[in-house]
A and B are shown apart, each in its own frame.
Chain A
Amino acid sequence: MTPVHATFGEVAAERRVASVPLSHVSVELGHLYMEDFEAGPARLREQFRRVAPWLATVRSLWRERVPGGRARVSTCFLVDDYFSRFSTPAELVPMILEAAAEHDLTIDYLARESACAQFEDAQSNGVELARLVEDRLVDDPPPDTDGSRPPVKETGWLCNGSRSPRTAPVQAMGKARPWEPPVQNAKRGHSIFVDVELWDEKGPRRTWSCPFLAAVWQLLRLGLLRSDGRVPLPPVALDGGWPRDWDDLPAVVRLDPQAAPFSAYTTLSVLSPRFLPVELAVRTILSQVAVDDEVLRQIAGRSEGEGVRLEEELVDRISYVFV
């Protein structure tokens, strides 16, 4: 009798990770605070006037880079409805789209910043993207971290080195401990020490910081997040008009049905220089997020198949134009 080779599988024992459609680059045409909107359409028009030439440049750069010149570029715009709420989508969104159109810009996707913290609708079943990312933070270890102790954490803070030791007030007979500087872990010559506040808590409510939500936003645009193996917050087309309440607006709205996919291999954000400190903090956070191995493999495989070489480290897939 020939031996029989048996195979046996169990669905619950396997890991299934969905893949997302990907553009080559996702360009963020702006990120405005509510106060910018309060300043009226003139501020918006000014923003888009500055952005327009950069979008054209990105398009032509990617056309050169992609074999056959068929670059997939999608554009997006993030509305901050987390820290303060202003107006209604019905009033605000048409104003944004109009101002963009004046400079020949199309916004393919409109997203809500509060969805990066937590979002609930019938489809998503309540995704807490911020928690998802928080659980994937792996602290940058200072030298002599051997695993014997849990990583030193200041609750709600994340840094890129060793903090300056606490200098307690000198006691009457005590010896004063001299100040010691903080040290960046992988410094080049001198340290640039960054310590980022991830959230604060007032009572039971946790407020995520702007850099933390921006880090979530970048991961979402890079197509690197999964919740139970599924893609969280896929873009949704809006039927009917713009709602009167922010809560009735999907997390990511697809405005143009023909648009290239929302998520992309790389991202570019065109921002005002006042966002520079926020983005430094975002990079500090992102360089400490461990992205799912399987997701990284999927994306690497896909990009290689297309002849596009991606940077290995995900922070290097993000670029900026500060204007």
Chain B
Amino acid sequence: MGEVHTGLLQNSGEISESTCRQVLGITAGETVRVSRRPIVHALSPERLTGVDCALPAASRSRVRGVGTVVSRCTVTGGRVAQGSSYVRVVRSEADRRLAWSHYLARPGVVEVLGKAKAADLAEGFTGDPAPGCLDLGAVSGRFLDLVQASPLLDRRAPFKIPRTSLRWVAETGEPSIRFTLHTEQERTLRLTHPGPFTPAVVDLCEDLATHDWLLTSLLVIVERARIGTTPGAQAVARLAPAIDHLLHLWMPAARVEEWLTPFWDSLERRPGFTRQWRSLVDRVRDQVAMNTLALLSASAETGRR
């Protein structure tokens, strides 16, 4: 299970690859991994956080888990920042808390002391977790803050857009995917995949979170432009940040391992992420075209006179 927080990098423009490396260099002696095709994507080294707390269970039964959370930050296209954390929940062999070195030898694993049902925990985590339970959102949020607080950023973002959070649970079984929008900023994802869990699943969730955030942000910008009720030039001015900063970032499933691409594909069929994105992009471009035409004909008018 994991949680991804996504937001606009607090900088006036896109940051360069070398700045990305510095911003994400959160551990001494560890390199930031950067891939350039088909879009620049930088991934920080992984950090661990120790936890010993109740795990969220839908049945509200008390389940204690001890272990470490893996966290990392990413910057996509020099523009979109993420803080992402996850754990793998396994049954503990000993029924008591062991020396800390035991848990450190299993990074990213939280061991459950006592009995717990996987379905109960999955339901609890994507539902409404009780306070005091494992809070991956807080951990991810802190890692995103870490990126956003970098002194290398000028903190002059071109527009304000809220962060989104994607809480996900992956289980082994017959392939299925369920993406749910809750409030404006909260999403959950239930994923069932064949074979054991691998970090490739985390890549998929981060990729989905990035694109969901892009879609959400573009929707907000188009909404704010009040197309049809405000004068054309004004609407276009309000759409400008989307053209400058977002439209080129849509690269679904670019870094998703091949065996997981069918999950993206099925989301493309229903609800159709790319379909919605394209219709929004067309709408933005049509507005710009219309406005250009209006300006051209206006100047032609004045020329004739």
Contacts and interface: CB of A to CB of B under 8 A. Distances in A.
Interface of A: 8, 10, 12-15, 127-128, 131-132, 134-136, 138-151, 160, 185-186, 225-229, 232, 286-291, 293, 296, 312-316
A8 B34 contact: no
B29 A135 contact: yes
Given A138-B50, A143-B52, A147-B134, 16 more contacts: A15-B31, A146-B54, A146-B133, A146-B135, A147-B53, A147-B69, A147-B138, A151-B50, A227-B29, A228-B29, A229-B31, A287-B104, A288-B104, A291-B104, A313-B102, A315-B101
Interface string B190-208: 0000000000000000000
B104 A289 contact: yes
Given A288-B104, A314-B105, A138 B99 contact: no
A132 B51 contact: no
B136 interface: yes
Given A12-B36, A135-B29, A138-B104, A146 B134 contact: yes
A287 B99 contact: yes
B33 A147 contact: no
A251 B211 CA distance: 49
Interface residues of B, number: 40
Q: Could you say which of B34, B100, B102, B138 has the most chain A C-beta atoms within 10 Å of its C-beta?
A: B100
B50 A141 contact: yes
Contact of A186 (B27, B37, B98): B98
Nearest to B55: A146
Interface string B131-171: 01111101100100000000000000000000000000000
Contacts of B49: 138, 147, 151
A151 B26 CA distance: 17
Nearest to B54: A146
Given A131-B28, A287-B100, A313-B102, A146 B132 contact: yes
A228 B31 contact: yes
A-B pairs, top 7 by smallest CB distance, nearest first, are A13-B35, A146-B53, A141-B50, A287-B101, A140-B100, A227-B29, A148-B135
Interface of B: 26-31, 33-37, 48-54, 66, 68-69, 85, 96-102, 104-105, 107, 132-136, 138-139, 142
Nearest to A131: B28
Nearest to B33: A13
Nearest to B106: A312
B116 to A, nearest CB: 16
Contacts of B107: 290, 293
A289 to B, nearest CB: 7
A147 B135 contact: yes
A227 B51 CA distance: 27
B142 A150 contact: yes
A290 B47 CA distance: 9
B29 A132 contact: yes
A186 B105 contact: no
